[in-house]
Amino acid sequence: MEGKAGLTREEVKKLSDVIRQLEKKQEASDFLKPVDYKNLGLDDYPLIIKTPMDLSTVKKKLKTGKYITVAECTADMALIWDNCRTYNQIGSAIVNQADILEAVMRKQCELNAIPLDLPQKRQREENKQEVVQDKLSLDSKIEFAEKVKKVSHEVLAEIVKIVDSDCKHALEELDSDRIQIKVDSLDKATFEKLMGLVSVADEPKPTKKHKKNN
């Protein structure tokens, strides 16, 4: 049985050189390894970022022959910066770092004669992000995720019930016991309904004052 051809040794060498040049940059420190969102307390990260990517993962896939074409590898590199821009506020320090690294990637690909077919894709992703940001701001999504962590199982069940009824495509069954709500897929009306629900549930309960017996 004939296998897939894969990258040539020269292509692997050139792509590895691009990755090495990126790793050398001071701005690359936050992109060298997968985002440790659990320890960082970024519980909404897997809700917003569907395909995490980092330089160590790209390097490992390249080394183990996971890429069949050069375009697959450069697309994964570009995904690192796109993920950063999707999750973080435009203009923030980490997004500025991603912008710098993308410029480095483009320059190194040019120096190594590696074709980059990214501009049109990037434009589509930016347009898509603008629509999402117009519908739901990043701050509101983070606020929602923080409030959801504090609600009871009864409120969580009500949230799932509302999404299943009003915006079913935003529900994703991960396995028999877990359901994921894709916040970016919620329409504004449903999101506001859910935000109202979790906000009420998050309000501190009034404490009863006991009268002192004289």
CATH number of domain containing 54: 1.20.920.10
What average pLDDT does the segment 5-14 reach?
90
| Residue 157 and residue 124 in one domain | no
Measured CA to CA, the distance from residue 146 to residue 209 in angstroms comes to 30
- In tens, the pLDDT along 175-208 reads 656 777 777 777 778 888 888 888 876 666 555 5
Residue 158 lies in a domain: yes
| Residue 117 and residue 147 in one domain | no
Residues 6+ apart with CB under 8 A from 33: 54, 55, 56
Measured CA to CA, the distance from residue 53 to residue 79 in angstroms comes to 7
Tokens describing residue 102: 């993308």
The verdict on pTM exceeding 0.85 is no
| Residue 26 and residue 40 in one domain | yes
Query: Which of 132, 162, 183 is where one domain is finished?
Result: 132
pLDDT (0 to 100) of residue 75: 95
Q: Is the pLDDT of residue 127 over 50?
A: no
Expressed as residue numbers, the domain containing 78 is: 9-132
Tokens describing residue 173: 């069954």
| pLDDT range class, residue 166, cuts 50, 70, 90 | confident
Angle at which helix 93-111 crosses helix 9-24, to 10 degrees, equals 150
Q: Is the pLDDT of residue 139 over 70?
A: yes
Number of domains in the chain: 2
Tokens describing residue 205: 């309960």
> What one-character DSSP code corresponds to residue 173?
E
Q: Is the pLDDT of residue 213 over 80?
A: no
